[in-house]
């Protein structure tokens, strides 16, 4: 995929401003600075800020980051065409202060959506995502948690090429120490007595992985601080160190097209809630990029963070259970109808549903493509369909060969990462993406009142989820195990076309007619597999 090279301006440390360079709009201007000496604690001994002035006169500020030895670096993604100016300031180190330069922002002529349309924002009604230029954005994520940390260049390119072809739009990954990726933070054994430091060379390696996500047309979604276990960085680090590490990662990757996840798998219990609020506000309060939290399984944290301006959208984890209680939490718990509460007013995204090939918590049966589709369609129909995440048990672990998941003792003999590239589940996600792109997705709202009865009242495996546009022009009903579904006749406007959509293949049936019984119209699925009943006033 064509992409203009990020501008690397010529570095001149004199009183004269640095020479101008050309940078495509929404690409990245990347500039190095040099300190006159090496610092003992570079993350703490110098705070370097860079003030930018856009062609229209708007000002913005980014922080420069230490990049090894005596080098500091800063990055900016310009959103206005024309000449930009920048100036550095640093109270602690005079050699890093007072530098200035210019660059010209030019039009981008490639085909990558992240460079063509810009960073991700919320729509005006705050229920969906869009690019900065207003183009709709559907959040279809993949959890490659260990991918950035463990993949080789060749592996990462192969993986991203496949996910781009499969129409994924977001790659979720872990940024620091986690289950086999232990090189980003050196001297970890000294916590909490030693101030936090970073391995700049390791981050330089990770930079290439993050840039590659954008080059393949997808948005990077880093977990800044994983925080499930006591030894995870988000928990073991003192607050000031956790915040400083988050600031460093933001400075390093904030110019790329990213969506931040401040925490990873965090329970958010007790005093930790206020701690995370402070870190979130101090680091991501400027709203340059969207930010959310990744909570632990079936942990609804919205009420704890709804008052935070930096908490841009609701991410939740329905998890990997298959028992009645787990399924009931997903379809009838706090997620259901939450979107319609004024205090939330945010997109809602299931960031970790049933993973394909992952053993279920309760039954220990391996989740298959049907479980993946069930969780995905439920997630998209019990809330306005802003997006959903996919996961495969081999991808998130990223083993080179068949073996156990490191630091995850209950996952044995997991297939290598390549086993998760092309699967029934991944094909289902491409089909899902295309299906929701085939109609006015942003007008769909949950509509369980469309159903005359609920097949999953007693057995949540059979739970039917439905959504409609306000004008009734498009109505979508998902049946996890086929069967007959009765719809209220008064909710179906004529003329109308009803078809069965196959979520495994992407094929539509010929229009079908229901059987009528008083005020109920009944449709029967083709077989006992999962199906989508697609009802439209006009065929596309």
In tens, the pLDDT along 9-44 reads: 333 333 344 556 899 999 999 999 999 999 999 999
Question: How many whole angstroms separate alpha carbon 24 and alpha carbon 108?
Answer: 5
By C-alpha distance, which of 147, 320, 284, 152 is closest to 220? 147
pLDDT reported for residue 193: 67
Task: Output the DSSP codes for 76-105.
Answer: E---SSEEEEEEEE-SS-GGGSS-EEEEEE
| Same fold across 7-111 and 447-536 | yes
Question: Which residues make Cβ contacts (< 8 Å) with residue 186, sequence separation at least 6?
Answer: 197, 198, 199
pLDDT reported for residue 5: 39
> Which fold is adopted by the domain 115-442?
TIM Barrel (3.20.20)
Pick the CATH number of 447-536 from 1.10.3470, 2.60.40, 1.10.20, 2.30.29: 2.60.40
Within 13 A of 529's CA, how many CA atoms are on the CB side?
12
- Measured CA distances, 477 to 252, 458, 474, 532, 534 (Å): 44, 19, 10, 6, 7
pLDDT reported for residue 504: 98
By C-alpha distance, which of 288, 312, 291 is closest to 79? 288
Residues 316-347 as b/e (b if ≥16 CB within 10 A, e otherwise) read bbbbbbbeeebbebbbbbebbebbeeeebebb
- Boundaries of every domain in the chain: 7-111, 115-442, 447-536
In tens, the pLDDT along 402-423 reads: 988 887 778 888 899 999 999 9
Question: How many whole angstroms separate alpha carbon 379 and alpha carbon 507?
Answer: 22
Question: Considering only 17-21, 380-384, 504-508, which range has the smallest mean pLDDT?
Answer: 17-21
Check residue 41 and report its DSSP letter. S
Name the pTM for this structure. 0.94
Question: 3-class SS at 211?
Answer: helix
Q: Is pLDDT above 50 for 3?
A: no
In tens, the pLDDT along 118-158 reads: 999 999 999 999 999 999 999 999 999 999 999 999 999 99
Torsion angles phi and psi, residue 248, rounded to 5:
-65, -45
More confident residue, 283 or 196: 283
In tens, the pLDDT along 442-484 reads: 999 999 999 999 998 989 999 999 999 999 999 999 999 999 9
Helix H or strand E segment including 53: strand 49-53
- Token readout for 291 is 């930010």
Per-residue pLDDT band at 191 (split at 50, 70, 90)? low
By C-alpha distance, which of 336, 538, 349 is closest to 449? 336
Question: How many whole angstroms separate alpha carbon 23 and alpha carbon 105?
Answer: 5
pLDDT reported for residue 303: 93
- Token readout for 157 is 């390119």
pLDDT reported for residue 410: 81
pLDDT reported for residue 81: 98
By C-alpha distance, which of 150, 202, 141 is closest to 179? 150
Decide if domain 7-111 falls under CATH 3.40.50.150. no
Q: What's the order of all strands across the beta sheet hosting 465-469?
A: 444-446, 465-469, 474-479, 531-536, 497-501
The predicted model gives 81-103 an average pLDDT of 98
> Across all residues in the chain, what is the average pLDDT?
93
Q: Is pLDDT above 80 for 301?
A: yes
Question: Which residues make Cβ contacts (< 8 Å) with residue 525, sequence separation at least 6?
Answer: 479, 482, 483, 484, 485, 500, 531, 533
Q: Would you say 177 and 206 are in contact if contact means Cβ atoms under 8 Å apart?
A: no
Question: Which residues make Cβ contacts (< 8 Å) with residue 172, sequence separation at least 6?
Answer: 141, 142, 143, 144, 145, 221, 222, 223, 261, 351, 389
pLDDT reported for residue 14: 31
pLDDT reported for residue 100: 97
The predicted model gives 239-253 an average pLDDT of 96
Torsion angles phi and psi, residue 119, rounded to 5:
-65, 165
Q: Would you say 45 and 91 are in contact if contact means Cβ atoms under 8 Å apart?
A: no
The predicted model gives 179-186 an average pLDDT of 76
């Amino acid at each position: 995929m064509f992409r203009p090279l990020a501008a690397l301006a010529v570095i001149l440390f004199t009183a004269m401003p640095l020479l101008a360079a050309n940078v495509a709009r929404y690409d990245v201007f990347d500039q190095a600075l040099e300190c006159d000496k090496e610092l003992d604690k570079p993350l703490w001994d110098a705070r370097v800020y860079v003030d930018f002035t856009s062609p229209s006169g708007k000002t913005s500020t980014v922080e420069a980051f230490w990049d090894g030895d005596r080098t500091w670096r800063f990055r900016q993604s310009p959103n206005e065409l024309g000449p930009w100016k920048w100036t550095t300031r640093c109270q602690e180190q005079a050699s890093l202060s007072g530098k200035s330069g210019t660059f010209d922002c030019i039009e981008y002529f490639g085909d990558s959506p992240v460079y063509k349309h810009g960073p991700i924002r919320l729509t005006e009604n705050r229920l969906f995502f869009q690019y900065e230029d207003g183009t709709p954005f559907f959040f279809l994520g993949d959890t490659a948690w260990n991918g950035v940390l463990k993949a080789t260049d060749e592996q990462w390119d192969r993986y991203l090429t496949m996910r781009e072809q499969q129409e994924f739009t977001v790659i979720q990954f872990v940024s620091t120490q986690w289950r086999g990726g232990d090189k980003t933070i050196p001297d970890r054994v000294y916590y909490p007595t030693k101030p936090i430091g970073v391995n700049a060379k390791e981050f330089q390696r990770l930079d290439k992985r993050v840039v590659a996500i954008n080059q393949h047309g997808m948005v990077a979604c880093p977990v800044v601080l994983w925080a499930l276990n006591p030894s995870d960085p988000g928990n073991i680090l003192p607050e000031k160190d956790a915040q400083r590490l988050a600031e460093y990662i933001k400075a390093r990757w904030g110019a790329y097209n990213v969506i931040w996840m401040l925490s990873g798998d965090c329970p958010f219990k007790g005093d930790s809630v206020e701690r995370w609020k402070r870190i979130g506000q101090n680091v991501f309060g400027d709203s340059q990029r969207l930010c959310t939290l990744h909570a632990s399984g079936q942990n609804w944290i919205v009420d704890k963070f709804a008052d935070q301006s930096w908490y841009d959208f609701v991410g939740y984890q329905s998890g990997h259970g298959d028992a009645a209680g787990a399924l009931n939490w997903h379809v009838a718990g706090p997620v259901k109808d939450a979107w319609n509460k004024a205090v939330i007013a945010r997109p809602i995204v299931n960031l970790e549903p049933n993973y394909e090939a992952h053993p279920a918590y309760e039954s220990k049966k391996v989740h298959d493509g049907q479980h993946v589709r069930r969780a995905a369609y439920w997630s998209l129909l019990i809330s306005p369909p802003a997006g959903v995440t996919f996961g495969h048990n081999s991808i998130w672990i990223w083993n080179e060969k068949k073996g156990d998941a490191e630091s995850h003792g209950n996952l044995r003999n997991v297939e290598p990462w390549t086993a998760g590239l092309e699967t029934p589940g991944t094909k289902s996600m491409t089909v899902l993406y295309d299906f929701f792109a085939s109609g006015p997705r942003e007008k769909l709202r949950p509509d369980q009142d469309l159903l005359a009865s609920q097949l999953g009242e007693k057995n949540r495996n059979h739970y039917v989820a439905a959504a409609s546009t306000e004008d009734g022009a498009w109505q979508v009903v998902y049946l996890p195990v086929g069967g007959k579904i009765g719809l209220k006749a008064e909710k179906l406007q004529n003329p109308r076309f009803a078809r069965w959509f196959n979520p495994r293949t992407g094929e539509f049936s010929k229009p079908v007619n229901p059987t009528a019984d008083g005020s109920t119209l009944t449709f029967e699925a083709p077989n006992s597999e999962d199906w989508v009943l697609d009802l439209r006033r006009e065929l596309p």
